[in-house]
Chain A
Amino acid sequence: MNHQNQGLRDKKKFRRNMRISLGIFIGLFTVLIVYLGYSVIVYGERWFATPYNPRIQHSTAIAGDIMDSSGIRLAWTEDKKRHYHPEKDVRRAISHVVGDSGGFSMGAETIFAKQLCGVDKDIFSRINDAVSGGSSIGSNITLTIDSALSEYIYDNMNARDGSVVILNYRTGEIIASVSIPTFDPEELLSGEPPEESSLVDRATMGKYPPGSTMKIVTASAALKANIDISYTCKALEVIEGQRITCVKKHGKNDLKGAFAKSCNTYFAMLSLELGGDKLSEAAQDFGFNTDFNFSDINLYASSFENSLNKGDIAWAGIGQYKDLITPMHTAMISGAVANGGVMMEPRLLKKVGNESETQPKEYAQVMDSGAADKLKEYMLEVVNSGTGTSAKLGIKGVSMYGKTGTAEFTEDGKIKNHSWFTGFVDDESHPYAIAVIYEGAGFGSKQAAPSAAKFMKKALEG
């Protein structure tokens, strides 16, 4: 009798366990359904719009026109062939933004293929197209870029490798984005092999050490933590065996002065004062280590790594160690300072067909407006009396604000410097932020800063 009771109890337990297992299976399949739905809805657009997607190149649709912000045709289809802007220099200046119809590069031709080829049409009109056998016509799209300005920038970069980005910091519109080495889509499609690494858009995919431009982030962390140290620069500071140097002795400075003179040792000490966690947090706030997943551009993530070593943290605070950033992101950071701490999502698509214009999207409030105002003051000081005097515009009523950067990297065993400048202008009709980098070109103040002034002046004319 006892034995039977035991059996019954076991049976009850067994049945309960089966129900629990059923719950596990239902749970597993629920995870599947939710994950599938989530990933297709959130990442679907990006997965679709890659150069690897054969559907884009094999589309039977006649792709629509691509135009710049003033309505100049940049790409169109005629006699079943894709044509690009008639001038070679314009084609080369905007090739990374516009892309190509062969799926070699990651430009508008690929990212907006859905609109251009009409793949975004609903299923009924697509079935209709398939049954009738005729080719459908995609939509025309208008981009935010200014092709004339892009050509000017391209011509005046004087074939130096690097990238220039100009953004509207109020709306996030990309006004110009030029990257060298570049390619000509006409030549590419006719089968000519592209120059080495020319298909990579340095503006969005080039990850460079930010150098002193990182001091914007470090200074913002200090402002947030309300830390302002006073320190006398002796041009050398050794932290856990790592030598941090300045080009000259900057003397005694507070945050503002050190920022304007771009004093490395000051910022190294400030970084230690702040600590790795606070620095990391600030970098995170500015968008480092995040997957941007923007709808209009394929922007690579910037990276910032914390460390337990004090020397590493000091280097990280002045934009070396493992810090990496894209020129586009650098321009976004300057833009956020100008825009009261609000970083806008960069946009490339102005409108599709005759639909209404796309709306600005906020990316994040990356710092409070008080800190942004302080940083603006610092960045004005850089151009007025600091390292960035060569970026002065010389225009009445409009000032340039900025930060120079000289980022060390090693190539073939030799130490070289990327030349950086990033900044913005306080012109309400042209609220533009800029980032300029020349690869291995030397000091930011000597190369990138004067270029930035030149390009900005041109942009303000338009």
Chain B
Amino acid sequence: MTIRQKSASAILVLMVLFVLSAFGLLAFRKGTFDVLAVLCGVILSVFCVFEYNMLKLAFKHIDRFVLLAAMFLWCMGLIVLYRMNPETAVKQFVMLLAGTIGMIITMIFIRRSGDFGKWNWIFMVVTLALLASTLVFSRSVYGAKNWLDLGFFTFQPSELAKILFIVVSSYFLATRSTIRSFVPYMCFTAGCVIMLVVARDLGAGLLFCGTFLIMFYTATGRIWLTLAGLGVLGVGAVGSYHLFSHVKLRVEVWQDPWSRYNNEGYQIVQGLIALASGGLLGTGLGLGMPQKIPASHTDYIFAVISEEFGLIVSIAIMIFYLVFIVRGIIIALNARSTFDALLVFGCTAMLALQSFIIIAGVIKLIPLTGITLPFISYGGSSILSSMIMLGVIQGVAVKNGKADEKQLEFMGGRME
């Protein structure tokens, strides 16, 4: 018996064509020929082809669809970033290279995921320390204290904390079963969320809560306890609406951004106008006005893409996230150990919720909370953490593949 893995090279070819034509278009946009744009397009294409093939060679069982979905998303991000400011695109590309290294290292580490449990208490302390550090040493950006300035490099500790949070959650949920044994874990989660809310990083707080609830439900199957948790989240949300003026303001701006156009509502209104200007097919790359939207390269990048590429591509992006999520869950389903399954499930869930929260905020489905769009938004810490999560998913995929292969060999088949 032979199992042949499906080839995804055709998708890769289409993607390279997309990247090259986008950068080609960008090269001509100012009347003069921009050599840097073409160079960037070529480098990015070569990088994608090279990375895809190298990873395929080095890790035979890597999940190609997850990889390609992530690749499409970051190519989309780099195109739009280059269109807004070539400098940020170059910086982002450098971080992407670092992220790729991070991903490969993670894939190697995941082989020994069974040992993570020994480090669990240390992980917990580090997570809390990371989140606490922002409260103590941070400077405030856009009303949220979530950046740490290390002099040479600023980073968002909550991004790193996200990964550790998944590791800690997976360990607890894989090894404990009684309610009492979950108490330290619940306290830990509450501590994380409270610190994020105090730091005014509401988006991350919501993300941690959501990830916790869905992981808890999946691992334990305790539907009532999960609903109770959801209830606590609801009470907390209503409570913070009444307690904190900044939360109240967010909700009011969400309800009617137009009447607060001159101050708090400006960003949402400009975002909606950008969505409307794009329409179905978009204005065309380079023909929109992203400079009018605050945070257009980070939180609001989805609005920029919608304006220039239209509804069709925005929906395509959401479908790429869905492909990523579906493949992620399939990998989790195939995982041999509960811990690995939970790791992959946690990473997938977190990326899914993160993209949902920010897209829903931009399109005014829910109140806006500032978090990045995974793989697309500009931001070193963000791309690094997304890539590490991708590494977790791929690492487990490789482990699954090896186990499958062993089973097949045992039965006298092989895998190509």
Contact = CB atoms under 8 A, between A and B. Distances in A.
B276 A58 contact: no
Given A14-B219, A52-B269, A126-B283, A24 B275 contact: no
A292 interface: no
Interface in B23-80: 28, 31
Contacts of B282: 123
B218 A40 contact: no
Interface in A35-80: 35-37, 39-40, 43-48, 50, 52-55, 58
A28 interface: yes
B308 to A, nearest CB: 11
B276 A40 contact: yes
B48 to A, nearest CB: 25
Interface in A100-158: 119, 122-123, 126-127, 130-131, 133
A112 to B, nearest CB: 15
A229 interface: no
A194 to B, nearest CB: 17
Contacts of B301: none
B214 A24 contact: yes
B221 interface: yes
Given A36-B314, A123-B282, A130-B287, A21 B273 contact: no
A89 to B, nearest CB: 32
Interface string B255-289: 00010010000000110110111111111101101
Contacts of A43: 272, 276
A31 interface: yes
B322 interface: yes
B321 interface: yes
B275 A47 contact: yes
A31 B365 contact: yes
Contacts of B363: 32, 35-36, 39
Contact of A28 (B270, B273, B333, B356): B356
Contact of A22 (B276, B284, B321, B326): B326
A420 to B, nearest CB: 27
A225 interface: no
Nearest to A129: B287
B368 interface: no
A14 B289 contact: no
Contact of A44 (B217, B269, B276): B276
Nearest to A7: B338
A17 B338 CA distance: 13
A308 interface: no
Given A29-B356, A39-B364, A54 B218 contact: no
A33 interface: yes
B365 A32 contact: yes
Pick the most buried of B258, B279, B311: most chain A CB atoms within 10 A of its CB: B279
Contact of B275 (A15, A20, A40, A133): A40
Q: What secondary structure prevails in chain A residues at the interface with B?
A: helix
B219 A22 contact: no
A29 B281 contact: no
Given A35-B363, A130-B287, A21 B345 contact: yes
Contacts of A159: none
Nearest to A6: B177
Interface string A1-24: 000000000010111011111101
Pick the most buried of B272, B333, B364: most chain A CB atoms within 10 A of its CB: B272
A325 B50 CA distance: 66
A119 B287 CA distance: 11
A29 B311 contact: no
A274 B349 CA distance: 54
Given A13-B221, A40-B276, A54 B325 contact: no
B398 interface: no
A32 B318 contact: yes
A227 interface: no
A293 B107 CA distance: 53
Given A21-B217, A21-B329, A29-B318, A36 B311 contact: yes
B261 A52 contact: yes
B360 interface: yes
A48 B288 CA distance: 13
Contacts of A55: 273, 277, 289
Contact of A17 (B218, B275, B314, B359): B218
Given A14-B219, A20-B218, A123-B284, 13 more contacts: A11-B338, A21-B329, A22-B325, A29-B325, A32-B360, A46-B276, A47-B276, A50-B273, A55-B277, A55-B289, A119-B277, A122-B281, A126-B284
25 contacts: A14-B219, A17-B221, A19-B333, A21-B218, A21-B329, A22-B326, A24-B214, A26-B325, A28-B352, A28-B356, A33-B315, A36-B306, A37-B315, A40-B279, A40-B280, A47-B273, A48-B276, A48-B277, A52-B261, A53-B273, A55-B273, A58-B289, A130-B284, A131-B28, A133-B31
